[in-house]
Structures are given as structure tokens and as C-alpha cells.
Amino acid sequence: MRDFLTLLRVQLLALANSLAPNAQGAPRAARMRRIALAAVLAFLLATMFAVYAALAAIGLAEAGLADAIPALAVLIGSLAGVAFTFMKARGTLFGARDHDLVMALPIPRRTVVLARMAALFGSAIVIALLLMLPPYVVFFAYVGPAPATVAFAVLSVPLAPLAPTALATFAAFGVTALATRFRRANLAYAALGMLLMMGVIAASYGFSFSAGVDEQATMAATASMAAALRDMVETAWPPAVWASNAVVDGSAAGFALLALSELGVTAVCVEIMQRCYLGL
């Protein structure tokens, strides 16, 4: 456990430094200022998306679809760290300058992989917290809180991004395996990451451009679109259904399915990657 915590600390510092890269050998104060500035900018960006998520939840509630808010929150939490993870996974898992040194240490390979992935999971959970909290606050403001549903909502926040982050990391792992056989791999990887991020942003803003001039017609169109979106989300991503059952109805079985699916997918991805890790 001590080895894991030490590696995790190193990985978190490296991840934070990668968000605000600085010239090697720069003074510590300069590095800290750059990291602080990057943190402020990231917080402002997350706040903007959080406000948008809250407004989308209010729109659903006003359209009489408050029960769809938990599924929306889980979808947002699931997608929150996917683009970030896909862009940072390659450098976090394989691009560290001390990669060869760390792998030569008498530490189990599984511990090294878990420590490096834990930094990505932690980042995704923080992003999910910032984006899922506003919709849940709106939901409970409209339907009223209950001890079981509030507990399930709180526990769903760290669970929601686990499987998507693991799958995004696994996808980055596969792309890295293919990229080792091609030239211009870094450019292709960066392009894929940017396309993924643009797709997430375009999808999130697509809903907001559906408003018309007639308020009543807009509300009807919004309700229809929201209902169709809810059905599509619940069909495409079953954990959203299970989370919705847990948060809306207080279903322990729904929460159990959510937890088992998120943790199970994560465990499988981690195990496959740690077994194949030295092959790259």
C-alpha cells in the first residue's frame, strides 16, 4: 500500500504539471504559479459546464420530466472524463520520463498500473462531481429528498465515471499499441483526442440550440426532445437506467447493478492492461 501511495503521489504531481508545462529547471515558484493558473482556468471551465448542466436539468423539470434528471446526471458524469482521459492516458501510462526506472523497481506491475490509472480515475471523479452535483440539486429541489435516494445519488457520483474512464483508457491503450507500428503516431493520437472532445462539446450544446420563438411551442418541443433523449440514453447506456431507478425510486437492486457494472468493467480493463503493459 505504501508503494501504491508513493507512486500515486508522483503520478498526480506529474499529471498536474502536464496541465501547465514549464521549462525544465524553472524555479519552483514559477511552476506553482503556472499550475495555480491552470487550476483556476479549469475550475472556470467546469463552472461554465456545471451551470449549463443545471439549466438543462431545470428545463427537464419544467417540462415535467424531472425523473429524467438522474439519467442525465449519470450520462454527464460518465462522459465527463472521457475526452480528458483519452488525451492524457497515453502520457500518464506510457509517456512518463521515469517509465523504465519505475518498471525496474521491485514493485508489482499491477501496483504501477493501478497507481497510474488512479490518477486518471481521480481526475474523472472530480470532474463528475462538479458536473453531476447541479442536476442532482435541481432534481431534489423539485421532487423532494429522501434518505435512500440522496444516499444513492451521492454514491453514484464516484461510480458513474469509472467504467467510461476505464474504457477510454483501454481505448488509448489500444491506440498506443497500434501507434507503435506507425509514423506520425503522436499527431494522429492528438487529432483523435481533439475530435472526441469536439464531439462531446457539440453534443452537449446541440440541445441548447433547439429553442424557438414561441415559448409554448418551444416547451413542447423541449419536452418531446428530452423524452426522446432520455429513452436514447437509457437504451444506449444501461447504467443510466439503474442509477435512475436507484435515485428516483430508491431501488437498492438498481444501485447494486450500477456498482457491479462500473466496478466490474473497471476491474476487467485494469487486469487486461496490466497483463499486456510490458508488451508496449
Cβ proximity of 78 and 161 under 8 Å: yes
- Whether 25 has a pLDDT exceeding 50, the answer reads yes
DSSP letter (8 states) at residue 208: G
- Whether 214 has a pLDDT exceeding 60, the answer reads no
Burial class (CB within 10 angstroms; exposed 0-12, middle 13-18, buried 19+) of 114? middle
Per-residue pLDDT, 33:
77
The arithmetic mean of pLDDT across residues 13-41, rounded, is: 68
In angstroms, rounded to a whole number, what is the distance separating the alpha carbons of residues 124 and 151?
Answer: 20
- Whether 229 has a pLDDT exceeding 70, the answer reads no
Cβ proximity of 123 and 81 under 8 Å: yes
Q: Name the residue with higher pLDDT: 126 or 200.
A: 126
Handedness of CA 160, 163, 167, 169 (dihedral sign): positive
Q: Work out the pLDDT band at 84, boundaries 50, 70, 90.
A: confident
Per-residue pLDDT, 6:
76
- Tell which residue, 226, 268, 261, has the closest CA to residue 246: 261
Q: Which three cell numbers stand for residue 70?
A: 438522474
Cβ proximity of 243 and 71 under 8 Å: yes
- Whether 260 has a pLDDT exceeding 90, the answer reads yes
In angstroms, rounded to a whole number, what is the distance separating the alpha carbons of residues 230 and 261?
Answer: 20
Coil vs helix vs strand at 268: helix
Per-residue pLDDT, 212:
43
In angstroms, rounded to a whole number, what is the distance separating the alpha carbons of residues 174 and 276?
Answer: 10
Q: Which three cell numbers stand for residue 208?
A: 441548447
- Tell which residue, 140, 120, 114, has the closest CA to residue 1: 114
Q: What amino acid occupies position 69?
A: I
Cβ proximity of 92 and 113 under 8 Å: no
- Tell which residue, 112, 99, 122, 90, has the closest CA to residue 7: 112
Q: Which three cell numbers stand for residue 273?
A: 492492461
The arithmetic mean of pLDDT across residues 7-26, rounded, is: 65
In angstroms, rounded to a whole number, what is the distance separating the alpha carbons of residues 198 and 173?
Answer: 21
Q: What amino acid occupies position 116?
A: R
Cβ proximity of 237 and 256 under 8 Å: no
**pTM (two decimals):** 0.77
Average pLDDT, the chain: 76
Which single residue is written with the C-alpha cell 457520483?
157
